Amino acid sequence: MSKSILTSTRRGFLTLASASAAGLLQGGRAQAASENPAAGLDDACILTPQAEEGPYYLDPKLVRADVTEGKAGVPLALRLRVIEGGSCTPITGARVDIWHCDARGIYSAFPGQGDSHNIDMTSKTFLRGTQIADGSGWSTFKTIYPGWYAGRATHIHFKAFLDERTVLTGQTFFPEALNEYIYTNVPDYTKRPQQRLVINANDGVATEQDPEHRAYCAVKEERERYVAMLTLVVDRSAKVSADGPNGFAPPGPPPAGAREGGRPPKAQWIRDRLAAVVPGLKRSPF
């Protein structure tokens, strides 16, 4: 993506997006925790909510920081910090996996995707990878800003493992104002045949599994990229998920309701999109 496009994106909207979303306040606490994890950060040490794994998890056994594999999109550094709930101390050596869709809403490794459900990416591994947390609990990935697909708000999936056990499976969400700007102005994300109907405000996972926005990432700008940060607060005593071996759900079809031009069954219709996208307008989007 060209420098001029990224510059326009930053100048046009990041100030608004990063200053207002409640999720950014959580991310700000996460950044502070990296500097002094035990100093008055009670909120930052509350467990990060679990969220459904979804149908698109696959471990390609690729320990790598750069997961882009040449995919076009707005450059993004994703920084995840694993810390212990209660003590608020970093967990060195935790394994962190991420996976997400590309600018057009497509995941690697699975068939039946796209706005017409006819794209097969079975043999691909883009936008998936593993990192091992450093001495401060941080893992960093070089990726692109995720796109969207029917039935879901913008998100990146993550898993945290300790001693081969899955201790956290979740999803992180992005400021909706920034999503809106990128999807309507940056060519890699535009000209989709379907309208984006599901956003943070009416996404079932975001509203039901993370109502307090504890897994919403903080986003800041750097010269040539965005940086998204989130603290993953985990419980060492967490048991292996019952979804499948090692906590992995078996591969399956796209989520129910994620069909061309459709909404998941529980998604409310957004009547005031501006109120849903821009926090603080003090009016209902529904």
pLDDT tens digits, 228-249 = 999 999 998 876 554 433 343 4
Delineate the domains of the chain, giving CATH numbers in brackets. 3-238+250-277 (2.60.130.10)
* Cα–Cα distance measured from residue 128 to residue 134, given in angstroms and rounded to the nearest whole number: 19
Q: What is the pLDDT of residue 267?
A: 79
Q: Which two tokens mark 146?
A: 């995720």
* Cα–Cα distance measured from residue 158 to residue 90, given in angstroms and rounded to the nearest whole number: 17
Q: What is the pLDDT of residue 202?
A: 95
Q: In this predicted model, what pLDDT tens digit does every residue of 7-66 receive, in sequence order?
A: 544 544 444 444 333 333 344 344 434 444 433 344 568 999 999 998 899 999 999 999
Q: What is the pLDDT of residue 66?
A: 98
Burial tier of 179 (Cβ tally within 10 Å: 0-12, 13-18, 19+): buried
3-state helix/strand/coil string of the chain: CCHHHHHHHHHHHHHHHHHHCHHHHHHHHHHHHHHCCCCCCCHHHCCCCCCCCCCCCCCCCCECCECCCCCCCCEEEEEEEEEECCCCCECCCCEEEEECCCCCCCCCCCCCECCCCCECCCCCCCCEEEEECCCCCEEEEEEECCCCCCCCCCEEEEEEEECCEEEEEEEEECCHHHHHHHHHHCHHHCCCCCCCCCCHHHCHHHHHHCCCCCCECEEEECCCCEEEEEEEEECCCCCCCCCCHHHCCCCCCCCCCCCCCCCCCCCCCCCCHHHHHCCCCCCCCC
Q: What is the pLDDT of residue 32?
A: 37
Q: What is the pLDDT of residue 266?
A: 61
Q: What is the pTM of this model?
A: 0.81
Taking 50 as the pLDDT cut, the residues of the chain under it are 2-5, 8-9, 11-42, 242-263
